[in-house]
Amino acid sequence: MKHLINTKALTVVVLSALMLGVLFCYISLSYRGVALFKQNNINQQNGLAADDVIPVSHEFHLVAPDLLRYEQPSILRGRTDVVTVTPWLAPVVWEGTFNPVLLDSIYKRKNITVSATVFAVGKYIMFLKDFLETAEQHFFVGFKVHIYVFTDRPNEVPQVRMAAGRQLTVRSVPSSKRWQEISARRMELIQTLIEEQLPNHSDDYVFCLDVDSKFHGRWGAESLGGLVAVIHPGYYKDGRSRFPYERRPASRAYLAPEEGDFYYCGGAFGGLLQEVHHLAKTCRSNFEADAQEGIEAAWQEESHLNRYMWINKPTKVLSPEYLWQDFKPQNPEVHIIRFSGVVKNYAEIRPNA
């Protein structure tokens, strides 16, 4: 009888141990599955695999504070002198089309960081002080801002007092004998920068800006979007056949006379990190493939950016308020100049004329 009880007890113990073993294997395999799934997601976001996949973001979930009071919006009154929406229904941002207080309160809750890249190679370092000082006054005031300066003269980066929550990182880059190369290489460096940042910041934004420019007015949350393009101030009254797109079919930046929506500038563009990563990577690889075949697009990376935006429509378009040129008189439809290129003497500042 005692022997029988011992055998029964042993069987129960062995069976329990077996069940526990099976349970353990099941749990650890499922855990590994979740981990692999997460890693694949991170790889995709990194652009390491399936780089055409744009990960889902929460950009469009806009939560406003209940107690905020602001002027009643109207669908009957508003700007009538300019077009405020593209044919693919992306907003075109002009003064008078948005409420800055409302937008700030929506986006401040999201706790986002807005980065800006700016290149100051060779003599262009002379523009950096004004760029940084005016960015303090107008660019995403009250938000977390991270400015990345790429330069071959890190010792000459000016000390500019920055408000709490704003920071500056300086990255050394080699100089070059050709301005075309400096301008075009920006895409490669932006791509690399985002690859380093992306895993932890996929809901954040970046703007890539020319250094020979100053801020004069608010540039804030109204400019945020998945993929953001800025309309070039020099061509917005022209027909598309007159836009200075790359017109040689041999180039990957080619656009035919009947193609193209607007002429966008290379001096300002941005959006969510993963969108800008995809843009920079595509423009860089097309630029490099062209170079292998001995062709350089008419306006370097600006031509490739225009080709990219023809296929990948920007989700927000910024009016020329967001990149004017100091030498141009202000047009009546431009109620405010927010950012503008300074007048410069190309022969004096570029490494090659």
Q: From residue 296, how far is each of 180, 187, 248 by CA, in Å?
A: 9, 15, 10
Which position's Cβ is nearest ligand UD2? 266
Judged by CB under 6 A, which of 113, 117, 183, 340 binds ligand UD2?
A: 183
229 sits near ligand UD2 (criterion: CB under 6 A):
no
- Report in angstroms how near the CB of residue 181 gets to ligand UD2 at its nearest: 9
Answer for the pair 151, 121: CB distance below 8 angstroms, yes or no: yes
- Report in angstroms how near the CB of residue 136 gets to ligand UD2 at its nearest: 18
Instruction: Enumerate residues 57-86 that contact ligand UD2 by CB under 6 A.
Output: none
The catalytically annotated residue of 95, 188, 222, 302 is 302
* DSSP character string of 333-348: T-----EEEPP--HHH
251 sits near ligand UD2 (criterion: CB under 6 A):
no
- Report in angstroms how near the CB of residue 186 gets to ligand UD2 at its nearest: 6
β-bridge partners, 93: 318
Burial of 220 per CB tally in 10 Å (0-12, 13-18, 19+) = buried
Burial of 114 per CB tally in 10 Å (0-12, 13-18, 19+) = buried
At residue 146, what are phi and psi to the nearest 5 degrees? -130, 110
Answer for the pair 275, 329: CB distance below 8 angstroms, yes or no: no
Burial of 209 per CB tally in 10 Å (0-12, 13-18, 19+) = buried
Judged by CB under 6 A, which of 225, 260, 266, 314 binds ligand UD2?
A: 266
246 sits near ligand UD2 (criterion: CB under 6 A):
no
- Report in angstroms how near the CB of residue 124 gets to ligand UD2 at its nearest: 4
119 sits near ligand UD2 (criterion: CB under 6 A):
yes
- Spatial separation of the C-alpha atoms in residues 32 and 135, rounded to whole Å: 46
Instruction: Enumerate residues 202-221 that contact ligand UD2 by CB under 6 A.
Output: 210-212
Listed ranges 30-38, 95-103, 242-250, 299-307: which one lies at the site for ligand UD2 (CB under 6 A): 299-307
- Spatial separation of the C-alpha atoms in residues 316 and 93, rounded to whole Å: 8
Q: What number of chain residues touch ligand UD2 (CB under 6 A)? A: 22
- Report in angstroms how near the CB of residue 179 gets to ligand UD2 at its nearest: 4
Amino acid at 234: G
- Spatial separation of the C-alpha atoms in residues 189 and 226, rounded to whole Å: 20
Q: From residue 353, how far is each of 33, 124, 200 by CA, in Å?
A: 57, 14, 42
120 sits near ligand UD2 (criterion: CB under 6 A):
yes
Instruction: Enumerate residues 308-347 that contact ligand UD2 by CB under 6 A.
Output: 323, 341
What number of CA atoms fall less than 13 Å from residue 7's CA on the CB side?
A: 4
- Report in angstroms how near the CB of residue 220 gets to ligand UD2 at its nearest: 20
- Report in angstroms how near the CB of residue 214 gets to ligand UD2 at its nearest: 12
* DSSP character string of 169-227: EEEE----S-HHHHHHHHHHHHHHHHHHHGGG-TT-EEEEE-SSEEE-S-B-GGG--SE
Judged by CB under 6 A, which of 47, 220, 226, 267 binds ligand UD2?
A: 267
Listed ranges 4-12, 116-124, 129-137, 254-262: which one lies at the site for ligand UD2 (CB under 6 A): 116-124
124 sits near ligand UD2 (criterion: CB under 6 A):
yes
Closest CB to ligand UD2 among 190 and 323?
A: 323
- Residue 156 a catalytic site member: no
Closest CB to ligand UD2 among 112 and 323?
A: 323
Max CA distance (Å), the chain: 108
47 sits near ligand UD2 (criterion: CB under 6 A):
no
Catalogue the active-site residues.
302
Contact residues toward ligand UD2 (CB under 6 A) are 119-122, 124, 179, 182-183, 210-212, 265-267, 299-302, 323, 341, 350-351
